[in-house]
């Protein structure tokens, strides 16, 4: 009777500890013909900007060099961009050579380029001056913690990176990570906001939080199967179950002989 009871208990634990296939597969289902959102990123306070300016005047070009005296291979290192990039201050302004402070908070990159060019033309050049300006983020910093292969703080150098870019850098979600309830913390309008993402659904690509923004924090919660501790794969679970059954059987037999 005892053996049947313990066998049933172990079998129940076995069922509870297995992670269903549908809980570990990304982007299940079909993607509809819905148009993807094309909202342009708007510059925020605390952003570090890479601003590239080219003109016929070499003295102006040198002022906007990311790292003076560095060779081209080192121009886009994280260290160079952090120390030589242009930080948007708490009031939304960026301090640039010659034109000094200019408010870029809330502007798209195209709008920022146009505004900077107007300021330069009004300050330093004639209206017909040949001037090229490029504005972009000097990398997109992120943090990912929880049930991933390699929790980390990193920087992405890519246009419109997605949450899967972050997870790829973090060596993917573990077998006991909850893909249906990934937490994303994002600062919006100077306030932190919490969003829950279900990465098992194909329509995640339409979410406004599918694309990563600077300083996003991603937390992957554990599945309750991790608490059971009986294995993260079917093979591990079977092995643990057999070991437990063998131990229980041994204890029961020894108790009988002792009596």
The larger pLDDT score, comparing residue 172 to residue 240, is at 172
Mind listing the pLDDT tens digit for each residue in 35-81? 666 678 899 999 999 888 888 777 777 766 654 444 444 455 666 67
Is the distance from CB of 163 to CB of 218 less than 8 angstroms? yes
139-222 CATH: 3.10.560.10
Q: How confident is the model at residue 225 (pLDDT cuts 50, 70, 90)?
A: confident
Rounded CA-CA distance 52/10 in Å is 64
For the cut 80, the answer to whether the pLDDT of residue 112 exceeds it is yes
Coil, strand, or helix at residue 73? Answer: helix
Q: Which residues of 151-183 are buried (b: 16+ CB within 10 A; e: fewer)?
A: eeebbbeeeebbbbbbbebbebbbbbbbbeebb
Provide CB contacts within 8 A for 118, sequence distance 6+. Answer: none
User: Sign (positive/negative) of CA torsion 163, 165, 171, 175?
Assistant: positive
Looking at residues 138-156, what average pLDDT do you find?
A: 94
The answer to whether 48-137 and 139-222 have equal CATH topology is no
Mind listing the pLDDT tens digit for each residue in 94-105? 999 888 899 999
Give DSSP secondary structure letters for 230-246.
S-SSHHHHHHHHHHHHH
Domain 48-137's class?
A: alpha beta
For the cut 60, the answer to whether the pLDDT of residue 174 exceeds it is yes
Residue 113 half-sphere exposure, CB side, CA atoms within 13 Å? 15
* The predicted structure's pLDDT at residue 78: 65
| Nearest alpha-carbon partner for 27 in 209, 203, 211 | 203
Q: Structure pTM?
A: 0.75
Q: For strand 216-222 and strand 140-146, is the pairing parallel, antiparallel, or unpaired?
A: parallel
- The domain segmentation of the chain, as residue ranges, is 48-137, 139-222
Nearest-5° Cα angle at 51, 50 to 54 = 140
């Amino acid at each position: 009777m005892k053996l049947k009871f313990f066998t049933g208990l172990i079998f129940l634990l076995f069922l509870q500890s297995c992670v269903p296939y549908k809980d570990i597969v990304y982007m299940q289902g079909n993607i509809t013909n819905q148009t993807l959102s094309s909202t342009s990123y708007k510059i925020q306070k605390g952003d570090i900007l890479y601003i590239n300016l080219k003109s016929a005047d070499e003295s102006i070009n040198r002022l906007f060099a990311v790292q003076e005296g560095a060779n081209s291979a080192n121009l886009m290192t994280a260290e160079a961009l952090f120390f030589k990039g242009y930080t948007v201050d708490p009031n939304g302004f960026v301090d640039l050579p010659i034109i000094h402070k200019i408010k870029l908070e809330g502007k798209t990159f195209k709008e920022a380029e146009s505004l900077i060019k107007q300021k330069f033309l009004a300050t330093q050049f004639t209206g017909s001056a040949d001037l090229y300006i490029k504005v972009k983020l000097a990398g997109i910093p992120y943090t990912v913690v929880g049930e991933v292969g390699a929790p980390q703080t990193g920087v992405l150098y890519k246009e419109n990176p997605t949450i899967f870019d972050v997870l790829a850098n973090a060596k993917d979600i573990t077998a006991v990570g909850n893909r249906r309830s990934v937490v994303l913390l994002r600062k919006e309008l100077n306030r932190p906001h919490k969003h829950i993402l279900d990465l098992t659904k194909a329509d995640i690509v339409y979410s406004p939080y599918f694309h990563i923004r600077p300083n996003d924090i991603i937390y992957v919660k554990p599945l309750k199967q991790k608490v059971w501790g009986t294995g993260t794969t079917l093979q591990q679970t079977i092995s643990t179950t057999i070991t437990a059954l063998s131990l229980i059987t041994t204890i029961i037999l020894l108790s009988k002989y002792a009596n």
